[in-house]
């Protein structure tokens, strides 16, 4: 099953409609005939620029932001714990929540031009969809903390060096070759390994750790420092397009 985020004009930012689409994906992917799930996006510029700030900036309080963060974190937890391998084909920039979505996947096939990072710190918030918790599960501790705390984007070769990117994609053939190799192995083997990973996550209270991440982000979201940073981002856009 392939899910394609299709809002290239706004760099595939996530609004409520995309969230609902991801919820449908989770439901459909439970079917026993599904062998793998692929998440990707339209265009070459971006995989996903995170939450749609033009929509989510209307959320002002801790309670309001918690509801949005919680809904997306539930979706990403469901994606992470799908019984089949989940592959992000990172066709371009993945920042903020976009990086969280890719991190929730089992594999990240990253195009060589893509720059990715947990830039939430520049908005005076942390990750809030569970991606910080997943990154700490995925990378060596100091590398994960560095990636979260630096709040900057990294080129594909660095993402591969520190273990975030599974492979670097230079041509479509690289993606094809990855899936061809996966398909040589019986689907029940993939499911069995996924069960192994899920058992570990359940034993280590992954879901509860994600909940704490969501709550902490909601506290920061309410503060002036966050709202002022988002104002600056949105006003920069308006200055470039005074008629919008
Ligand atoms: C909400 C949850 C939280 C989390 O838990 O993680 C988050 O996700 S916080 C959101 C983090 N995202 C951002 O801060 C957005 C950062 N965006 C960028 O850095 C860049 O747009 C890009 C992704 C690197 C792409 O750069 P570029 O190709 O140069 O495009 P532009 O910057 O010119 O963008 C084109 C167009 O799209 C608008 N845009 C981009 N991202 C968003 C967004 N997340 N929300 C709303 N709008 C976004 C941008 O304003 C431009 O608009 P126009 O100028 O009107 O064309």
pLDDT in tens, 37-64: 999 999 999 999 999 999 999 999 999 9
Q: What is the spatial distance between Cα 113 and Cα 233, in angstroms, rounded to a whole number?
A: 23
Reported as a pLDDT band with limits 50, 70 and 90, residue 237 is: low
The verdict on residue 225 lying in a domain is yes
What is the domain-level CATH number for residue 117?
Answer: 3.90.226.10
Average pLDDT over residues 213-241: 90
pTM beyond 0.90: yes
Residue 160 lies in a domain: yes
Residue 73 burial (C-beta neighbours within 10 Å; 0-12, 13-18, 19+): buried
Instruction: Output the pLDDT for position 211.
Output: 98
The answer to whether residue 125 is domain-embedded is yes
Q: Is residue 40 part of a domain?
A: yes
Of all protein residues, the one whose alpha carbon is nearest to atom 53 of ligand 1 is 237
Of 5, 7, 8, 11, best ligand 1 pocket probe by most atoms within 8 Å of the beta carbon: 11
Instruction: Please tell me the total count of domains within the chain.
Output: 1
- Answer yes or no: is 32 within a domain: yes
pLDDT band (50, 70, 90) for residue 241: low
Q: Residue 67 C-alpha to ligand 1 middle, in angstroms?
A: 21
User: pLDDT digits over 136-192, tens only?
Assistant: 999 999 999 999 999 999 999 999 999 999 999 999 999 999 999 999 999 999 999
Q: Is residue 164 part of a domain?
A: yes
Cross-strand bridge partners of residue 116: 94, 154
With CA atoms as reference, report the closest residue to 233 among 125, 90, 104.
Answer: 125
State the residue range of the domain holding 163: 2-171+187-240
CA nearest to 107, candidates 133, 79, 126 = 79
Residue 243 pLDDT exceeds 60: no
User: Which residue's alpha carbon is at the smallest distance from atom 2 of ligand 1?
Assistant: 51
Helix (H) or strand (E) holding 187: helix 187-203
Q: Which residues contact 155 (CB under 8 A, 6 or more apart)?
A: 115
Contact in structure between 181 and 188 (CB atoms under 8 Å): no
CB under 8 Å to 3, separation ≥6 — which residues? Answer: 21, 22, 25, 37, 38, 39, 40
């Amino acid at each position: 099953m392939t899910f394609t985020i299709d809002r290239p004009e706004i760099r595939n930012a996530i609004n409520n409609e995309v969230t609902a689409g991801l919820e449908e994906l989770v439901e459909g992917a439970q079917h026993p005939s599904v062998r793998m799930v692929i998440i990707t996006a339209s265009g070459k510029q971006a995989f996903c620029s995170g939450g749609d700030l033009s929509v989510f900036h209307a959320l002002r309080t801790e309670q309001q932001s918690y509801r949005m963060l919680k809904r997306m974190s539930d979706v990403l937890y469901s994606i992470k714990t799908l019984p089949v391998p989940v592959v992000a084909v990172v066709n371009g920039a993945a920042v903020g929540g976009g990086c969280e979505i890719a991190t929730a996947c089992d594999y990240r096939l990253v195009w060589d031009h893509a720059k990715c990072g947990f830039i939430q710190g520049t908005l005076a918030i942390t990750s809030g969809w569970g991606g910080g918790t997943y990154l700490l599960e995925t990378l060596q501790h100091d590398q994960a903390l560095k990636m979260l705390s630096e709040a900057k984007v990294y080129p594909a070769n660095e993402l591969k060096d520190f273990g975030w990117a599974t492979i670097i994609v230079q041509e479509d053939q690289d993606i094809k070759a990855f899936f061809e190799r996966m398909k040589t192995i019986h689907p029940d083997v993939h499911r069995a390994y996924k069960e192994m990973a899920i058992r570990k996550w359940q034993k280590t209270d992954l879901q509860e750790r994600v909940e704490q991440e969501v709550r902490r982000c909601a506290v920061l979201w309410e503060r002036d420092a966050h709202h002022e940073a988002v104002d600056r981002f949105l006003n920069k856009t308006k200055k470039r397009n005074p008629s919008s």
